[in-house]
Structures are given as C-alpha cells and as structure tokens.
Amino acid sequence: MSIPGKRPKLIATDLDGTIVVHGSGYDESQIRQRTIDAFKAAHDLGIHIYFVTGRPPRWMPEIRKAFSFGDSICANGAMLYDFREDKILEEWGISIQNQLELARILRLHIPNISFAIEYGDEFHHEIAYVPRWDIGVDMQPIDKIEAKMIRPAFKMLARCSDYEMSSDEMLEIAIREAGHLATITHSNPTESLLEISATGVSKGETLAKVAERLGIDAADCVSFGDNPNDFSMLEWTGRSWAMGDGHRDGIKHAKFVAEPHHTDSVARIIEELIALPA
C-alpha cells in the first residue's frame, strides 16, 4: 500500500524497539546504517527530526555517536534535551507533594511495589527496587524512596520485583487509583515496571508543543513507536506507525502498522515518505 499525503515536515521516532534493536544497551552499532541514512536524507531535505524517548539524558551517548543532527525529547516528554551538546533545554517535573502521594497510593494498591526517582543527573532507588539498566549509577540504595523526594523529579519508576504483575496489569491499577496525580505509562510489557511523569506530560504533549513552536500542524508530522509510552505521540501525529513487534494495542493508537523493528522497517517507510511531493 502506498503512503498517502505529502512529504512530512517533521518526523518523530521512539528509540528502543523502534530504531534501536532491543537489548542493545548503549551500542550505536545496533542502529542500522540504513536507518541512519534514511534519517539523514530526510534531514537534508529540511525535515525536522525528533528522537522521542523514555530514556534519561545519561542514556543518550550512542544517539550522539550515530546522529550528528536532530533534536530530542527525553523522559517520556519531561524534557527537551540537546543531545549533541548534552544540555537540558526545558524540563517539567513531578512536584514533591505529588511524588509523596503517588508513592502512598500505589503502595496501598499494588503488592510488593518499590520505587526509584530521577532528577538532575541523579538516580535513586529503594533496596527492594532491582535496577536492570542503572546498576551502580545511583547513590546508596535506601529503604524508602520518600527520603529522596527533595525536589521535582522528571520521572518516577515503580517496579514489582517479584514479577507477579505484568506492566499492563500494574498500569491499569495505577491509572485507576492515581491517574489524577500524574501521567502513568510503561515501555516494556515484560518488565513489571511503570514510568511516571507529571500531569499533562507525555511524548505526544511535548511533541505537539515543539511542533506548534515550529509552526507545523499535526497533519504534517509523522511518528513511529512500539509501546504505551508512545501511544500519545502516535495518536497526535497525522500519520503514525506502530511497530509490528511492539505492544498489541499499538494499532488502536496508530494509523498504520510497520514491520518488526529489526527489519529496517522505519528506514523503508522514511524512504517512501521523502519521495512524496513536498
């Protein structure tokens, strides 16, 4: 099926599971050359490129190595980040009061839950919270995360370390009980892990904000993503692709479905998009 419409003015993409191969860590070689070339060709045509991710800035080194162009939205929309200059441009954090209330409510409703928080360049977690990717990054783990709730946080994380609940099951409970306090989502169905941002902060909301500043309508924007933290972005852009090997609900939020992420599918779609009339 041919892609409808004109050449986009802005292309936004998730990273892990979309253009970065799952489990590749910080290895830029896992961003395939065809993908890099496709984004470079789009950029050379004057299309704005946004890398929109749940990652914090400290997880962006290989993006800097792979791409010498583009802009980024990190922490599921909580910050605009210049990854080339390693500089946070704007940030929207969860208030201390809401952090405390979120922890209180979620402890009541999700058994064996534990927490981590991120602010500035710091990552703190409870002893019960077992980090998968940030081992050794935090200061000394603590009994209760409330002791580190001393400033607005760009992200809270909540994990069931015993894996008795899936991320989807946790998300349903968390939104029902605490959705009025924050934006709650996840980026991995198998991790029993929630990612929490301030109310009104999401990939879609922040992408809409930057597009408006650029004078670009949603109809002229394209996005790619694979998990619930991408759904707001997939919904907002005029054309969007959920990855075929991503979350099963992706098709409910995107306009199209791409082939699995490791098959150069995003690159192939961009090649078609930039061949469209301007």
The DSSP code sequence of 162-184 is T--S-HHHHHHHHHHHHTTTEEE
Domains of the chain (ranges, CATH numbers): 10-91+202-274 (3.40.50.1000), 96-198 (3.30.1240.10)
The strand order across the sheet containing 113-119 reads 122-125, 113-119, 155-160, 193-198, 182-185
pLDDT attached to residue 137: 67
Half-sphere exposure at residue 135, Cβ-oriented, CA atoms within 13 angstroms: 4
Q: At what angle do helices 265-274 and 33-44 cross, to 10 degrees?
A: 20
Residues of the chain with pLDDT under 50: 24, 26
pLDDT attached to residue 88: 97
Question: Is this prediction's pTM over 0.85?
Answer: yes
In this structure, what token pair is assigned to residue 5? 């419409």
pLDDT attached to residue 135: 58
In this structure, what token pair is assigned to residue 106? 């979620």
- Tokens 């939205």 belong to 73
pLDDT attached to residue 136: 56
Alpha-carbon distance of 228 to 233, in angstroms, equals: 10
* pLDDT tens-place string over residues 95-147: 999 999 999 999 999 999 999 999 998 999 999 998 877 755 666 899 999 99
pLDDT attached to residue 139: 67
Kind and range of the H or E element at 115?
strand 113-119
pLDDT attached to residue 162: 79
